[in-house]
Structure 1
């Protein structure tokens, strides 16, 4: 009978063999183990996400979807570009699917989105009782945890009062009006005979105007600080509509880092201001520093300045960008504007006033309608967030306590039941139309309505004045989605003859490259 026993190798040989096997298998095993852990955690998260989407309260929630993955949700779909003058493709698609009230998951949080003007009015007017202003943390990490959207009660009243007082006094100051005009003219002179990416130019022009009113910076005297601030604010903007993943190489991470640089610059500007002799309040930063103390801490002031600067220049720039397009597509609007502004030029010549004044601005009655119509179509302030303070019943649905709520205003602005021929640029529609309602909300509403709206309207009106009396232009190529920055060929004519034809913004009498086409 053969023996079943085998000779056992010495212990040291066993250990050597085990070490060799371990050296070979260990990297593979480690990688496999990591893969298993990732798969396990992902499945747990997704299953939990699915259970969350089908919770016991989901029957009362508005219809909608939350996306496939946590954090990301439907943020990618939300941030996709869409056709001009229409609500974002994401919003339009969900209105068709679910109606005017639906749920989603954007900016890292579950959100109820409303496109109904009456519901939006409820959300904005019931702040402090049913809702509170509260933005997703992913946005606050970029625009500041204590900006004007996040401060409440007495602190909010103090900040809003300072901004309103400074704005109301400055827009009536002829020196301020003169400064705005000079900045616009300087920019237009630089465009003369050039094809410019007008989206970029409008953004920089808006920025230059805003930083002077907010913090006293001049694009010329403080060029280094202005350029540095602009560069980092632009990076900050890019992170607002991206997936909020704070990881190396991600856009969101770069935006958070840019925010840190902006805060550091604001700290330096404040220190510089505080070293000056005490003077009267000149700009919004001066006004905030004058009441510093108590609830209005230095941290709050910095975050307020960061948030207001971003909101003020970025929103106005969106409207500025499309004004040449609106006027170029509508020569009858252009003709009526020229009649109004050449009349103002004639009155200035008779009174020997070289620059525009507050009285001249207030006489721009048709321009006011043009600005309203541009605001309606562009709707610059369309991202507003609130948070439900309790379960709120709306149209048979429940907005759960703690959920974010986003009233979206664009659909009402292009609703054919509210505005006849809503996608057409028709300033005359404002002849007898009431704007004191929640069907027209370019500056938001309620207690947080944009405190700088009158300054924005002044800047837009002065831009229109100088555009129609100094420039001719043509869009060099179609750019519906702004992928090319809206290229426009400008000719600064310096001075128009009074007897201009209705289509005087065209370039028939100018030598223009043959590749240029008319505005489409």
Structure 2
């Protein structure tokens, strides 16, 4: 019965999409010049199904490399989610898109995600100001004080959810840790019951973000919208209480991401509304939860598969631990000593980047590599077009942390956090979380995979299909 309903919903989506396509579609073909080579695929759905199928089979690079070989290694045309899309490939394509933000291109997000996250709630100038203000929190200087906090949360996580267990399902636990850290560092929630209370809507939100965008009762998309609304209401309640506490001189004026935002103003000196703050923090919490739970799970996977890499991380982390006083927490200086561990983390990010790519939109007609790109076309950069390309990383399927020794990869080839003005603002936050996780993981445990040849899927974040069960 569930399969029947899923099939009917999929059919309805195709019918609705086809109707909208016929009503609203306008050809973006330029008057002069030739567009990049490629194909648009099926009417209405284009090549969306092939794109998604490659990801869900664990090989998102197949869609990209097949078309690079057939059409052009620099840029090719396709059609995804009812849009004409030019896929920019290689380091030159990445450099072009990242270097021309707000001049030739601008960030673009799938409309269904805008509906869930209320991304259009603010006009673009105000949205950019708020994003800049929030990004200040993620600068390395501001993160210094949060290393001991993240260390304590991670330490408690291992004590409560890993120790005294024979087997665990890794993805479930890394998801719990990522949410616990986001709750603590962003809004100072550290009670396990409250974190578990929020974990249910977060799971619904995750399912809805990249589901078929049909806003009907019972669909994952409606569930995602409802979950996002629930989280925002909870955050607004926390924001109002925090304001009251600050007025009554309760609590530290600077203690988390929310504190930073409550102190910030726009260029006219006005405070941001509670709704605006809640929207932005919701987005950061979701991004942190989804990306970091995936990366930490793959750290566990590759350390299990490569004992020599595990030993290298273990030696480094043990040396750091032995240099600490009894009960002394990790600090920022300790992270700077984790050079080999970070090389390992970077190789994990290369092989299994949590963000496979992202969209931009052409805001004017322009020419790239001899091809005309019309205004309004969507542009896609793909991390795998460089991460798994032997031109930039010899033997790209080989797991080799030494790639990041010395100066590391060439510019615009290693882009797990994107690049340009829209580079992920949480890049440093991610580095801290990953390294603190690795520190406690290898010092407490050795492990082996329960399923040696577990399939990988990307939907939309890369994950082992069975959640990576391991034996401790």
TM-score normalised to structure 2 length = 0.84
Tell me if 1:259 matches 2:228. Answer: yes
The C-alpha deviation readout for 1:416-472, integer Å capped at 9, x for no partner, is 111122111111121123457211111111112122211111111111111111102
Tell me if 1:418 matches 2:392. Answer: yes
- SS of 1:95 mapped into structure 2: helix
Tell me if 1:370 matches 2:339. Answer: no
Paired position in structure 2 for 1:28? none
In 1, the alpha carbon distance for the partners of 2:170 and 2:358 equals: 27
Tell me if 1:449 matches 2:423. Answer: yes
Paired position in structure 1 for 2:294? 318
In 1, the alpha carbon distance for the partners of 2:112 and 2:323 equals: 52
* Aligned match for 2:455, one of 480, 498, 503: 480
Paired position in structure 1 for 2:245? 276
Aligned-pair distance for 1:166?
5.4
Q: 1:373 to 1:156 in 2, by over 3 A?
A: same
* Aligned match for 2:136, one of 164, 170, 193: 164
Q: 1:52 to 1:268 in 2, by over 3 A?
A: same
Aligned-pair distance for 1:303?
1.9
Tell me if 1:408 matches 2:382. Answer: yes
In 2, the alpha carbon distance for the partners of 1:401 and 1:198 equals: 45
* Aligned match for 2:67, one of 91, 94, 98: 94
Aligned-pair distance for 1:393?
0.9
Q: 1:321 to 1:209 in 2, by over 3 A?
A: same
- SS of 1:402 mapped into structure 2: coil
Aligned-pair distance for 1:84?
8.3
Paired position in structure 2 for 1:205? 177
* Matched residue count: 441
Between 1:361-370 and 1:377-386, the stretch displaced more is 377-386
For the pair shown, which has the larger CA radius of gyration, 1 or 2? Answer: 1
Q: Is the 8 A contact 1:143 1:303 kept in 2?
A: yes
Q: 1:298 to 1:74 in 2, by over 3 A?
A: farther
In 2, the alpha carbon distance for the partners of 1:43 and 1:284 equals: 43
Paired position in structure 1 for 2:204? 235
In 2, the alpha carbon distance for the partners of 1:363 and 1:135 equals: 38
In 2, the alpha carbon distance for the partners of 1:363 and 1:62 equals: 46
In 2, the alpha carbon distance for the partners of 1:176 and 1:204 equals: 16
Show the 5 A alignment for 1:338-349: 338-348=314-324
Aligned-pair distance for 1:185?
2.5
Q: 1:218 to 1:353 in 2, by over 3 A?
A: closer
Q: 1:249 to 1:214 in 2, by over 3 A?
A: same
RMSD of aligned C-alpha atoms? 3.0
TM-score normalised to structure 1 length = 0.76
Unaligned runs of 5+ residues in structure 2 are 1-14, 457-463
Q: 1:94 to 1:469 in 2, by over 3 A?
A: same
Q: 1:165 to 1:56 in 2, by over 3 A?
A: closer
Q: Is the 8 A contact 1:146 1:303 kept in 2?
A: no
Q: Is the 8 A contact 2:162 2:168 kept in 1?
A: no
Between 1:236-245 and 1:425-434, the stretch displaced more is 236-245
Greater relative CO, 1 or 2 (CA 8 Å, sep 6+): 2
Paired position in structure 1 for 2:443? 469
